Amino acid sequence: MTEIEVGRLLRANVYEFVAGCRVSQIDTPSFGALVRVPQANDLHIYGLIYNIHIDDDGLVRQLVTTELLDENTIADNRNNRNHPLEMSVLCVGYRQALQVFHMLPPRPPLALEKIILCDENEVCQFSSSGKFGYFRHILRSNSFAYEELLAAHLMQASAVHQNRGNLGWIQQAAQELIILLRDDYPALMNVLNSLKEIYNIHNLTV
Partner 1 sequence: MALDFQQLRQQIKQLSAFALTREKQLQKTRELAVELLSAYSSDLEGLKTKIQRITLQKNHLLRCARPVNEELSSRFATPPLPDFATILAADGSQISPDRHLEIQYGLVNVGAFQTLFGKSCTPTLYTQSQLLFGELISGLNEGALALQRDLSERRFLVELAQKAQPPVISFTDGPMELWVGRETTTTESAQNQSAVQEYQTVLSNLCQLEVVTAGYIDKPSSNLVVRLLEIGMASEQDMTNIVEYHPLHGVTDRDLFTFLLAPGERSAIFALQSNSTALYQGELALHFFYVNVGVKEKTSIARVEIPAWVADHPEMISNLHAVLIQQCRLLGSRHYPYALHRAHEVAMVSYQDKEQVTQMILNEFFQHQIKTDALSEKQALKILSGRTRINKF
163 binds partner 1 per the rule CB under 8 A: no
SS3 144: coil
From the list 58-66, 96-104, 167-175, 191-199, the region that binds partner 1 by CB under 8 A is: 58-66
Q: How many chain residues touch partner 1 (CB under 8 A)?
A: 18
Pick the binder of partner 1 from 75, 111, 167, 179 (CB under 8 A).
75
What are the DSSP calls for 32-93, one per residue? T-EEEEE-STTEEEEEEEEEEEE---HHHHHHTT-S---HHHHHHHHHTSS--EEEEEEEEE
Quick check: 76 and 65 in contact, CB under 8 A? no
Q: What are phi and psi of 113, to 5 degrees?
A: -65, 150
Position 69 contacts partner 1 (CB under 8 A):
yes
Among 22, 56, 59, 175, binds partner 1 (CB under 8 A): 59
Stretch that binds partner 1, among 77-85, 145-153, 167-175, 181-189 (CB under 8 A): 77-85
Nearer to partner 1, 75 or 201 (CB): 75
Asked if 72 touches partner 1 (CB under 8 A), the answer is yes
> Could you tell me the CA-to-CA distances from 130 to 11, 35, 135 in Å, in that order?
29, 18, 11
Contact residues toward partner 1 (CB under 8 A) are 59, 62-73, 75-76, 79-81
